[in-house]
Amino acid sequence: MRRTETSADHASPAETARLKPAGKASRQTPEARTGADNLKALKKGLNICRRGFVSVGAFSVVINLLMLTIPIYLFQLSDRVLTSRNTDTLMMLSVVAVGAILAMVALDMMRRLMLSRIGTRLETTLAGPALAGALHGQAGPTAAQALRSLQQVRNFIIGPVMPLIFDAPLAPLYFAVVFLIHPTLGFIALGAGLLLCAVAIVNQQLTASPFAEASGHGQAAENQAEALSRNSQALSGMGMMNEGIMLWGQSNAQSLTSLIRAQDRNAYLSGFSKLVRLLTQIAVLGTGAYLALQAQLTGGMMIAASIIAGRALAPIEGAIEGWRSFVQARHAYKRVKSLVEPMKNQEVRLWLPEPKGELQVEKLLYVPKGERDPVLNGVNMLLEPGEALAVVGPSGGGKSTLARILVGGVAQTAGKIRLDGAELKNWNPRQLGETIGYLPQDVELFPGTIKANIARLREDVSDAEIYRAAQLAGVHEMILRLPQGYETMIAADGSPLSGGQRQRVGLARAFFGNPKLLVLDEPNANLDVDGEKALRAALKHAKEQGITIVLITQRLAILESVDKVMVLQQGRVAGFGPAREIIPRLLSTQQASQQQPKQETQRAIKARHAGTHAAFGSGGGVQGVTGAANVTFQQS
């Protein structure tokens, strides 16, 4: 870090908290993509493809016309040169044929280069919106899967099947030429073409379902592989590696089974289509020879008709062989499109005046997609600027879900969340992000320096802002003790920082900038005694700055820093009010639960050894705290 921008190195935390963040004006431009920008990018990418495909189609028409060069050349050699024995005619025809072939090859190269550019431009245009959609979505493809889907689309566009798709609509041109040579040969070629079209339809019907099943199981196997990678240390430490691999192997085996079934059907039909094409050429040659014997056409016309008929059937045969790649690309494109289209209702929002931090929640309801039971139901609360709220309750009560909803990470099913009177959805996403500081329960730091992580990966900020956030979070001294200080590189797994150190750096990231609302989910879960003291000091300084705080916690000592307490039980508010009123009731409930008769515990133990669980719910003694405030605190 530059010492010229950290002149407040010896300032006290209170003095540092009063430092005004520099560079505020530079962040008042809505740089982040909104849903409207994503939809605009999608349309732009599609328009690029449309314009490019029109050009590729025009090239394809000329290329297919030039592909008639060889059969016409053979026809002229057989019927003109061999009969006239004129060398000049041979030389002239050869020069024209070579020129046409060179032009065809050049145009085909340009066509492939254009497809390559279209695929690359499409991926470049849609990668950002697709990634944003995956990160913003609550379900569906992950970010890595979204990018891989986009790569599948690009690979299909630049692959060998795409030119065949452009050649297939021109097959009637070749059939018409065969008809001009002789109607009988035309009917043979046309009949074979119709048969191959029927084979293509049957191929689609027989392989669509297995390919879809393979894709679904493959995605499940991919998700399980990512989960195994994230939990590799736990798997190794607890001897679960084989079981984890077997779990992945079940989904992967199902995917491969469906894939093999689809590929087998596709292979049989591809072989049949090739047989039809070759037999058609033989039929054209044989029938042509018979017609030549009847003096209805020449030998050159017979050979030309066979070549042209084969060329007419080749795109259809190629489409059958490349059907798998087409299906995969189609599904991949649907996934990419599904990530961006739900965001089209988002509009570019006006930058509102800087909020003071008043937070109001009205009748909040959240039901996860595909579920029936609500995780949060009827949650109401009001926090004035500078107030601190502690949210407590048993595990699974919806506390972390509430935190994610408050920061806009998850959209509520119903109800309203207002910051300074404006609903969260009406705030500009960039402005809202700079207004909120969030520390999730599972802290994930990005690969890079500690400095970059605290600065939220921004490059247009001063070192003074980073220092201010570190001081507020009480992490400055800890960072200085690291070998590289603020320049210490953090790996993808968070090393070399411990869990507590990562949590404290994440807290500094939450304090970065000028947040008016702090949402901290179990901020002291991995902290030691020094970390707890630093956290309490940080909360005190935040309240002095008028920052509204929502604190998810189970630790008793940290409650001395809050003004209000909310008890969440099974998604409902079981208690809400001033801390001085709620905390004594919680403590009395906890003490009562710890003084239950000894025989209840003994009876529960006997029932447990007997293999029954009926006693666990009868008296409430084994379950811990009962009543409205069903929560047990951890002593710090």
231, pLDDT greater than 90: no
pLDDT of residue 108: 92
For residue 235, is pLDDT > 60? yes
Percent share of the chain, pLDDT over 70: 82
Which tens digit of pLDDT belongs to each residue from 273-306? 889 888 998 998 899 889 888 888 888 888 888 8
Round to whole Å and give the CA distance between 270 and 164: 15
Residue 20 pLDDT greater than 90, yes or no: no
Helix (H) or strand (E) holding 412: none
Q: Is the pLDDT of residue 335 over 50?
A: yes
What pLDDT, on the 0 to 100 scale, is given for residue 136?
67
Average pLDDT over residues 381-394: 87
Among 5-14, 40-49, 129-138, 534-543, the range scoring the smallest mean pLDDT is 5-14
Beta-bridged to residue 244, according to DSSP, are: none
Superfamily of segment(s) 35-345:
ABC transporter type 1, transmembrane domain (1.20.1560.10)
> Which pLDDT belongs to residue 466?
86
Distance of CA 10 to the CA centre of its chain: 44
Mean pLDDT of 74-81: 83
- Per-residue buried b or exposed e for 358-396, using 16+ beta carbons within 10 Å of the residue's own CB: bbbbeebebbeeeeeebbbbebebebeebbbbbbbbbee
CB hemisphere CA count around 201 (13 angstroms): 6
| Distance (Å, whole) CA 52 – CA 114 | 7
In whole numbers, what is the pLDDT of the chain averaged over residues?
Answer: 78
* Angle at the Cα of 522 from the Cα atoms of 517 and 525, rounded to 5 degrees: 145
Alpha helices, DSSP H, located in 342-488: 399-406, 429-435, 450-454, 463-472, 476-480
CATH homologous superfamily for the domain 359-616: P-loop containing nucleotide triphosphate hydrolases (3.40.50.300)
Sorted by where each begins, the domain ranges of the chain are 35-345, 359-616
Tell me if 388 sits within 8 A of 563, measured CB to CB: yes
Mean pLDDT of 400-424: 86
Taking the complete model, does pTM exceed 0.85, yes or no? no
Give the three-class secondary structure for 573: strand
Q: What is the pLDDT of residue 28?
A: 41
CA distances from 312 to 178, 318, 325, 365, 590 (A): 9, 11, 22, 61, 83
